[in-house]
Homo-oligomer: A and B are copies of this chain.
């Protein structure tokens, strides 16, 4: 096993796509644990740290604020999540939030497609989109942040107004 390989902050930045400054910033706000140092004070990172930084990058892409990542990071590092009901709940709830996001995004894609197709097929777009059920599914949480078909009616509306 070559788990002992270490990396400079520069290498770490390159491997994760997160800048050196940002990595230091994450350490400063204790999102990352204080990195080990060499004798000269330079930070050293191992594969484990790189995985953690990648996890942060990944969660960031799902729109999670840094503060909300803390439980994921602290618990995950030294724990099998299946043994921590708290983490399991976090994972589940974040999963649901991501599923909602996907539904919203998929709707935007659908409506962009509709808009793009309009010139060609000119089909009337007043039916209830089937993507709708995606919105109803999942969580009973008060999450009013979903894209409703109404919200996207702009696209079809404007076309109707000027082309009908």
**A interface residues (Cβ-Cβ under 8 A, vs B):** 17, 48, 51-52, 54-55, 57-59, 61-63, 76-83, 88, 91-92, 94-95, 98-99, 101-102, 104-106, 108-109, 112-113, 115-116, 118-120, 144-145, 147, 150-155, 157-159, 162-163
Give, as a whole number of angstroms, the nearest-CB distance from A152 to chain B.
6
Q: Which of B17, B54, B106, B154 interacts with A102 by CB under 8 Å?
A: B106
Ranked 6 nearest A-B pairs via Cβ: A82-B119, A54-B151, A55-B154, A51-B154, A95-B112, A58-B151
Give, as a whole number of angstroms, the nearest-CB distance from A26 to chain B.
15
Contacting pair A61 B104 (CB below 8 A): yes
The SS class assigned to the A binding surface is: helix
Number of copies: 2
Give, as a whole number of angstroms, the nearest-CB distance from A162 to chain B.
5
A80-B163, A112-B91 are contacts. A105–B62 as well, Cβ < 8 Å? yes
Q: Which residues of B contact A57 (CB under 8 A)?
A: 147, 151
Contacting pair B99 A102 (CB below 8 A): no
Q: Which of B88, B113, B145 interacts with A61 by CB under 8 Å?
A: B145
Give, as a whole number of angstroms, the nearest-CB distance from A132 to chain B.
15
Contacting pair B115 A91 (CB below 8 A): yes
Q: Which residues of B contact A79 (CB under 8 A)?
A: 158, 162
